[in-house]
Amino acid sequence: MKAAVIKAVNTVEVCDIKKPEVKKGHVLLKVAYGGFCGPTEMCMIEGIHPRAKFPLVFCHEFSGIIEETAPGSAYNKGEAVTVNPLVTCGECYVCRSGNSYICEKLKLIGIDSDGGFAQYCLVPEANLVRIPAGMPLKLAAFAEPVAVGVHAVRGSPFKAGDTAMVLGAGPIGLITAMCLKAAGAGEIIVAEKDQRRLAFVRELGFEAAGGLEDFKKNNKRVIDQIFDTTGAPAVLPYAVDLVKIKGFIAIVGKFDYPAPVNLHDVLFKELTISGFRVYKDAEFAQAVRLIAKNAADFEKLITDVYALDDINQAIEGFKGRKNLCKIMLKASTDC
């Protein structure tokens, strides 16, 4: 079968590899679409991910059609599904306390084992999520990052009618904005320095904020919650400045370096700052339903679709910031 394989540092090749054989507790999935998660994929490609080992078929955001099942399976050939890639141990204190999504030994399909940038993938049945009838498989592959946004919004004190600000107009930032919209936000402000993305923010119907320094000087509104999806240390201090007294700041983007946060203001404003990593199983399922209900909105966020053969073109597009929002790769021509 054809697959995109990270062979070595900065070396991705589309090549023929052995098609997986179905085994007990698993299904053989014919992959339809796989999402390109830029930060994670580039971390692996550049050889700095702490767990990824080469050679690796990558991609942890994907959907497809069940091709083959093992005896006794709860699934049938031909069913359309998406994949929750989280693999937990079920034994550590975190799992036993009901928070398995942040398992001490958490692994992901597409990082710790072969994933979705291939024509076929062997997937544990426990990681399959059925999708509603008629839901496009391209949108089903979008469920994983949308689940991240669902988790952040559900975990915040957000209430319908609140004013929320999202820092960053990348895929996770705009997904979070869409989740806030679906949850009934009164106002949604999206801050972004890239001019193309700012224009896209306006096209999507959100208020766009360019320079945060100017916004801080001119804004007179009460901002109830701020969702930082940038992972940029220089940006986080603005969240502390802009959010209301007793406000809430959600850290959704991954910070690779410490941020210079003014803890004096955190103390005097009695702010709550909380981190959000991946999602619970129920939130992944909710993301599927949310996409199905708001398909037109989420479809707008998938701005670039490549064939699997063009994986390196997709990588170069991401590195050059040529892609406006979410990148998808189509693994099968007949799905």
pLDDT in tens, 89-129: 999 999 999 999 999 999 999 999 999 999 999 999 999 99
| pLDDT confidence tier of residue 333, bands split at 50, 70 and 90 | confident
Residue 251 · residue 274 · CB < 8 Å: yes
Q: CA angle at residue 132 from 179 to 58, to 5 degrees?
A: 70
| Amino acid (one-letter) located at 152 | A
Q: Compute φ and ψ for 118, nearest 5 degrees.
A: -160, 165
Q: Compute φ and ψ for 206, nearest 5 degrees.
A: -100, 155
Angle between helices 38-45 and 311-319 (to 10 degrees): 110
Strand partners, 26: 124
Residue 307 · residue 330 · CB < 8 Å: yes
Three-class DSSP category at 150: helix
What is the distance between the alpha carbons of residues 112 and 133, in angstroms, rounded to a whole number?
Answer: 31
The tokens of 39 are what?
A: 């930060």
Does the pLDDT value for residue 335 go beyond 80? no
The pLDDT tens digits of the residues spanning 299-328 come to 999 999 999 999 999 999 999 989 999 999
Residue 225 · residue 158 · CB < 8 Å: yes
- Cβ neighbours of residue 271 under 8 Å, at least 6 residues apart? 240, 243, 246, 247, 248, 249, 265
Residue 252 · residue 148 · CB < 8 Å: yes
What is the distance between the alpha carbons of residues 253 and 147, in angstroms, rounded to a whole number?
Answer: 14
What is the distance between the alpha carbons of residues 59 and 121, in angstroms, rounded to a whole number?
Answer: 11
What is the distance between the alpha carbons of residues 92 and 196, in angstroms, rounded to a whole number?
Answer: 45
Report which secondary-structure segment, H or E, holds 41.
helix 38-45
pLDDT value, residue 85: 98
Q: How many CA atoms lie within 13 A of 157 on its CB side?
A: 11
| pLDDT confidence tier of residue 225, bands split at 50, 70 and 90 | very high
The pLDDT tens digits of the residues spanning 149-192 come to 999 999 999 999 999 999 999 999 999 999 999 999 999 999 99
